[in-house]
Structure 1
C-alpha cells in the first residue's frame, strides 16, 4: 500500500508515517527510486501495534525499543494489549460510576461518605503496562552487566560491598511494613544506588523491576539468599516507593 492509502486506512497523517520512518520506528517495506514508500502486510500489523501502544501511554522511544526487541512476539503483544485496554476500560467505568454517584450526592438524592466519593479513583500503575515494559522494554540487566565490566577491580569491590550492605539492611527491616518510613528510606538508597551506578530508572521502571523480583525465580532465589521472603518484601516496598513518589510529584505540580 502507498503511504496515502495507509494514512487513510488508519486515520493518521502522512507526516506521522514519514516521521515513524525517519526515526526507524516503521520503515516501509520498499521505497521506489522516486522516493515513494510502499507498506507491506507486516508493516500494517506493526503500525497497528504502534498505535495501540500509543493509546496505552507508551512514548515512541519505548515503542521502538519494544518492537525491536528480539524477544518481541506480535501475537503475545496483542494479547497483552487487550488486557491493558480492558483494565483501562474498567478503570474508566469505575470513574464514570463515581461521577454519577457524586452528581446524585450533590442533588441530595443519596449520601456518600468521603471514602465512597473516592472509590474508582485509584490511579496506581496498570500491572499489564508494567509487564509489557519489563517483558520487552527493560534492558536494565544487560546495561548493568555492561557497566560492571568496564569498572576496575577496586570499583567493582566497592560497589559489591555497598550492594551487600543495602540488601542486608533491607533484610533486617523485614519485620516492618513495606510502607514504613524506615523501609522507604532503605528502598530510596537502593533506587539511588541503581540510578547512580547503572541505569536511569523511572518510577515506573523501578516498580516493574520490583515485580520481576517475584515473577522471575532467578531474581527471587538470588535476593532471598539475604533473607527468606526478602524478594517479596522488596517488591512491595518498591511498589510503595513508586506510588508515593509519583503521588508526591503530582501534589507538588498541583500546588
Structure 2
C-alpha cells in the first residue's frame, strides 16, 4: 500500500475485519485507529500498518481487554506485538488445557451415569481439585515458591491433590460456615471475643490444618497478615459474603492466635 490506490476504505476494512463501519469510525474518534489519510471527499483510507493495528486491537478485544487499555498498550514506547501475542498465546494454551481436562472428566462422568464405567469417589472430585490448584498456582504460585521454597510449595500441592473426599468436603463446608458466621458477627455487631468469634477462629484453624500438617499459631498469624496486606485474599472471602468478612477474620485471628 505505497500509494492511495493501495489504501482501503472504511467499507472495505469493515468487510475484511467483520466489524461495522460505525465501529471503525468510533475507533477513529477515540484515537484508537486513525486513518492513514482523509481524501478530498472526506473518506477515510487505511494502509497496511493500520490493518495490522486493527488486527491487534481485535485480538486483544477477544482476550477481554477494554479499549482504553488496548490503546495504552499498543501506543507504549516499549510495545512489542510478538511478545504480547506470545504471552496471550501461553495464557490461551493454559485455558485450552483446563477446558480439555474438564471435558475429559465430563465424558467419564456421563459414562458413569450411563452405567458404562465405575468412578471412585476421588475420581468424581479430582477435576475440581485440579481446577483449584491451577487457579491458586496462577494467583499465588510464584510468591509461595519464593517465600517458602519450591520443595514446600510442591509438598503443599501434593497434600491438596491427595485430600480424601471426606477432607475435601469438610474443607468446603468449613469455609461455607466460616463465611456465614463472619457475616453474622458483622451484621449483629458482636465483639470478636464473643462465643461466635471464638467459633470462627476454631473453624479457620481447623480449615488450615486440613492443608498444613505443621500448623502453628505463628503460621496462623502470618495468614492474618496476608489477608490484611494482599487484596486477593480479602477478595476471595468478601466475594462470597455480604460484609467485609476478611477484615473481621484478621482481627479474630490476632485476638485468639496471640
Normalization by structure 2: what TM-score? 0.50
Shift of 1:72: 0.5
Over 3 Å counting, the alpha-carbon distance change for 1:110 and 1:28 in structure 2 is farther
Residue equivalent to 1:64: 71
Matched, 1:110 2:121: no
Shift of 1:81: 2.6
Q: Tell me, in whole angstroms, the C-alpha distance in 1 between the residues paired with 2:234 and 2:23.
A: 36
Residue equivalent to 2:22: 15
Matched, 1:183 2:222: yes
The answer as to whether partners of 1:98 and 1:120 remain within 8 angstroms in 2 is: no
What does the per-residue CA deviation read over 1:46-85, in whole Å, with 9 as the maximum and x for residues that have no partner?
1111111111222222212211211101222232232222
Over 3 Å counting, the alpha-carbon distance change for 1:111 and 1:10 in structure 2 is same
Query: Which gives a bigger RCO, structure 1 or 2 (Cα 8 Å, sep 6+)?
Result: 1
The answer as to whether partners of 1:102 and 1:117 remain within 8 angstroms in 2 is: no
Residue equivalent to 1:124: 135
What does the per-residue CA deviation read over 1:95-131, in whole Å, with 9 as the maximum and x for residues that have no partner?
222221221222232315343242553472895xxxx
Stretch deviating more after TM superposition (65-74 or 105-114) = 105-114
The answer as to whether partners of 1:2 and 1:37 remain within 8 angstroms in 2 is: yes
Over 3 Å counting, the alpha-carbon distance change for 1:100 and 1:43 in structure 2 is same
Partner residue of 2:83 out of 47, 53, 76: 76
Unaligned runs of 5+ in 2: 1-7, 139-213, 243-258
Q: Tell me, in whole angstroms, the C-alpha distance in 2 between the residues paired with 1:244 and 1:106.
A: 39
The answer as to whether partners of 2:27 and 2:33 remain within 8 angstroms in 1 is: yes
Residue equivalent to 1:87: 94
Residue equivalent to 1:26: 33
Unaligned runs of 5+ in 1: 128-174, 191-237
The answer as to whether partners of 1:124 and 1:243 remain within 8 angstroms in 2 is: no
Q: Tell me, in whole angstroms, the C-alpha distance in 2 between the residues paired with 1:181 and 1:13.
A: 56
Q: Tell me, in whole angstroms, the C-alpha distance in 2 between the residues paired with 1:105 and 1:79.
A: 39
Partner residue of 1:245 out of 235, 239, 242: 235
Shift of 1:44: 1.5
Q: Which has the larger radius of gyration?
A: 2
Q: Residues 80-229 of structure 1: matches in 2 within 5 Å?
A: 80-108=87-115, 109-113=117-121, 114-118=124-128, 121-122=131-132, 124=135, 182-190=221-229
Number of aligned residue pairs = 155
The answer as to whether partners of 2:73 and 2:79 remain within 8 angstroms in 1 is: yes
Q: Tell me, in whole angstroms, the C-alpha distance in 2 between the residues paired with 1:23 and 1:126.
A: 37
Q: Secondary structure at the match of 1:38?
A: strand
Partner residue of 1:46 out of 41, 50, 53: 53
